[in-house]
Structure 1
Amino acid sequence: MLRSLSVRVLIALVVGLALGTAAAAFAGPVVKHAIELFEAVGGLWLNALRMTVVPLIFAVVVTGIAGVADAAATGRLAIKTLAWIVGLLTLGAFYTVIFAQGFYAVWPVAEAGAAALKAGATAAPDVVKQTPSLIDFVTGLAPPNILKAASEDAILPLVVFATFFGFAVTRLPEERRVGLAEFFKSIGDVMVTIVRWVLWAAPVGVFALGLGVGLRAGIAAAGVIAQYIAAIVLANIGMTVFAYLLALIVGRAPLGRWTRAAAPVQVTAFATQSSLACLPAMIERSRDDLGVPDRVTGLVLPLAVALFRITGPVANLGVALFLLRVYDIQPSALQMVGAIFVSVATSLASVSLPGQVSFFASIAPICLTLGLPVDILPILIAVEVIPDIFRTVGNVTGDMAITVILARGERTVPDAEMLAEA
């Protein structure tokens, strides 16, 4: 159990919060000062994570677009699959905005809890960027100096530039295109390696940050962290139900067959937190229980596992929307449009990244697009093991749903037989 990095980080957070709370209540000024000095280790660890965001995001967006272009070249079914993937991810992002409005209207983030969580952050609230005007937003999509934009954490124009760059790469002759794509893939792999090295020290970094949160906020931060977990879990469950309905209504899968096919895959996802590990079961159940032809399962499911996380924008944008409540910021409509675009782009681009790597690489750009500090993210990484279970269940449900939808009219099981069981 302790071999799991997620478990070690979660334990480090709990111990750090507990010791920091005890120090605030009973320790003298010397111990408190020592904790504040040790907290600098947490700040160093956080900066080590942040330094990889810009090159990692640029590299994975470029290589992700090159991969999508290659997939689209395989035929009409692949193009339809990609269209459904992008459409559902975008729909999921809009759903998340609506869900957050309702959730936080019913259960607002308490001021005391928000203050407690912010107390552990090393960035001051004044790092929040000014809301741009329409003119600033439009002109800022094409920055005159992309390096300057990157250095200022202007993620939206960076993603826009990377998107154009990626599509331009696909127009090169094959030999040069493959070479350039491999170059950026190598950069992404190098960044992932650095992030893995940094995450190896995550228990120490999170422990140091947890000490600071406990020292300044005490146990009050625990309630708002529990609220965050509830928000992300419920949003993921809602998207899973939506995927279920898609399969039944749009894919016209009989309820009994669909339930028997999806349940074992969902159980596997719950246990493994890995969509890739569920791929064999998804292929078998889609083919044997749902009558999906081999040509559909052989193309759609691997492509969906490679590119499609239906809960990606839901969970990633949901984290940013939670932090907006913590910092009591009201974003403009333009900022939300930018955040939705970035959430879809990073979800597509970061699907091949490991769990903790993809958490930071997917969510930090959204936060930076909204002008939010990312200093609370390490605390949320520590409890990601719980939402990640529901992320994976939603993802495999979405993968199977899109497969059923695209298999309509191409089934090997006669429609009359399936309708008889509906």
Structure 2
Amino acid sequence: WVLWLGPIGVGALAYVVGARAGTSAFGALLHYVAILCTVGVVLWLLAVPFAWGVAKVAPGRFIRAILPSQVVAASTQSSLASLPAMLRSTEALGVPVARAGVVLPLAVALFRWTGPAMNFAVAIYVAHWFGIELTAGQIAAGWAAAAITTMGAVGLPGTISFVSSIAPIAIAMGVPIAPLGLLVAVETIPDIFRTLGNVAMDVGATRAIAGEGEADSEADALLRAE
């Protein structure tokens, strides 16, 4: 019922803001989307050097392996829905199925790579929007809340868990939470990069933790040497 009523609430909030602010509200939302997507893209791209430096996988091989799961992630915006494709990605990286079957679901359930930074960015943007000067203590409290709350978020599209994930961060920082009801209307676009980054990093983390088979290890060593 929340999903059914959500569009009505968002429409009401958008109408009030639009009536008061005019076209400037549309420009502010575009700026918000651009800022948040930039944060998401940076976090997404960091999965490649992580896989190279920590998981010991050549960048080219890692990108080819995760490509199918990235397609699913972009189309569904759900880490859970991407899990079968992620398992195939880890298999392509030489991770034994018995190990990936244990590590990868845990990564999907707990390891929200993009969550803390992107949720924190939303709270900071709202503070900037309202002209709130954040102190070092407020920033520290917000970052701690972002790191903790992301562990309890579900691996579903961000439009479902947007308010519940960011409201605790905003409250810890003393930032109004009312604008979150409006920002959720454009969350679909940033959430694409949230999911892409989470899926890519989950695959890399699974490879780093679970390792690879003996035969694939020798092949990968030759690739790195080349």
TM range (shorter): over 0.9
Distance in structure 1 (CA, Å) of the matches to 2:157 and 2:164: 10
Query: What residue is the counterpart of 2:16 in the other structure?
Result: 212
Query: What residue is the counterpart of 1:388 in the other structure?
Result: 191
Distance in structure 1 (CA, Å) of the matches to 2:86 and 2:134: 40
Match runs of 1:36-185 below 5 Å: none
Query: What residue is the counterpart of 2:218 in the other structure?
Result: 416
Aligned residues: 224
> In the alignment, is the contact (CA less than 8 A) between 1:283 and 1:301 conserved in 2?
yes
Distance in structure 2 (CA, Å) of the matches to 1:293 and 1:317: 36
1:189-213 per-position Cα deviation (integer Å, ceiling 9, x unaligned): xxxxxxxx34421222222222211
Query: What residue is the counterpart of 2:93 in the other structure?
Result: 290
Bigger radius of gyration among the two: 1
Distance in structure 2 (CA, Å) of the matches to 1:267 and 1:226: 25
Query: What residue is the counterpart of 1:305 in the other structure?
Result: 108
Distance in structure 2 (CA, Å) of the matches to 1:276 and 1:352: 5
Distance in structure 2 (CA, Å) of the matches to 1:345 and 1:234: 23
**Displacement, 1:353?**
6.4
Distance in structure 2 (CA, Å) of the matches to 1:386 and 1:354: 11
Query: What residue is the counterpart of 2:65 in the other structure?
Result: 261
The residue identity in structure 2 corresponding to 1:217 is A
Are positions 1:314 and 2:117 aligned together? yes
1:347-379 per-position Cα deviation (integer Å, ceiling 9, x unaligned): 001225664341111101111111111111111
> In the alignment, is the contact (CA less than 8 A) between 1:347 and 1:362 conserved in 2?
yes
Structure 1 residues 349 and 395: alpha-carbon distance in aligned structure 2, compared to 1, 3 A threshold = same
Q: Percent identity?
A: 43
Distance in structure 2 (CA, Å) of the matches to 1:240 and 1:413: 29
SS in 1 for 2:199: helix
**Displacement, 1:419?**
2.2
The residue identity in structure 1 corresponding to 2:217 is D
> In the alignment, is the contact (CA less than 8 A) between 2:14 and 2:182 conserved in 1?
yes
SS in 2 for 1:310: coil
1:60-108 per-position Cα deviation (integer Å, ceiling 9, x unaligned): xxxxxxxxxxxxxxxxxxxxxxxxxxxxxxxxxxxxxxxxxxxxxxxxx
The residue identity in structure 2 corresponding to 1:205 is G
Are positions 1:239 and 2:35 aligned together? no
**Displacement, 1:338?**
1.1
**Displacement, 1:259?**
1.5
Query: What residue is the counterpart of 2:52 in the other structure?
Result: 248
Pick the aligned partner of 2:175 from 359, 362, 372.
Answer: 372
**Displacement, 1:245?**
1.1
The residue identity in structure 1 corresponding to 2:94 is G
Distance in structure 1 (CA, Å) of the matches to 2:72 and 2:214: 26
**Displacement, 1:272?**
1.2
Which runs of no fewer than 5 residues in structure 2 stay unpaired?
none
TM-score, with structure 1 as normaliser: 0.51
Structure 1 residues 261 and 201: alpha-carbon distance in aligned structure 2, compared to 1, 3 A threshold = same
**Displacement, 1:292?**
0.8
Pick the aligned partner of 1:281 from 80, 85, 92.
Answer: 85
1:324-349 per-position Cα deviation (integer Å, ceiling 9, x unaligned): 21112222212111111111111001
